[in-house]
């Protein structure tokens, strides 16, 4: 995986405790590409420069290939980022 650090548009649902569960996201790279998240493999919390972030290691079927990637959710600004792909 290489670091791409791109902002993305995310569709997610939140449980009663406020924990996000990502469903799919859109990458605006030339033409819009929507990627459905098949599986969240790992979820952990990280603090970068005083900002709490949730990191999701996910798996999806992209162009007939299983791909692993990392998505970050910044809790104070509610922004999503495709970090590693």
pLDDT at 57: 97
C-alpha pair distances (Å), 6 with each of 41, 64, 76: 21, 23, 18
What are the tens digits of pLDDT across the range 6-55? 999 999 999 999 999 999 999 887 777 899 999 999 999 999 888 999 99
Average pLDDT on 53-62 reads 95
Q: What residues have CB less than 8 Å from 30, skipping those under 6 apart?
A: none
Asked whether the beta carbons of 27 and 38 are under 8 A apart, the reply is: no
Residue with tokens 């996201």: 25
Task: Determine the pLDDT at residue 11.
Answer: 97
Residues 65-84: pLDDT tens digits?
999 999 999 999 999 999 99
For the chain, the domains span 3-84
What average pLDDT does the segment 52-64 reach? 94
Which pair of structure tokens corresponds to residue 26?
């859109």
> CA angle, corner 81, sides to 33 and 37, nearest 5?
55
DSSP letter for each residue of 43-64: EEEEEETTEEEEEEEEEEEETT
């Amino acid at each position: 995986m290489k670091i791409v650090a791109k902002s993305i548009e995310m569709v997610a649902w939140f449980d009663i405790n406020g924990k996000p569960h990502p469903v799919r996201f859109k990458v605006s790279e030339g033409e819009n590409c929507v990627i459905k998240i098949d599986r969240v493999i790992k979820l952990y919390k990280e603090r970068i420069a005083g900002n709490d972030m949730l990191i999701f290691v996910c798996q999806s079927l992209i162009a007939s290939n299983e791909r692993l990637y990392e998505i970050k959710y910044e809790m104070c600004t509610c922004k999503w980022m495709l970090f590693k792909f």
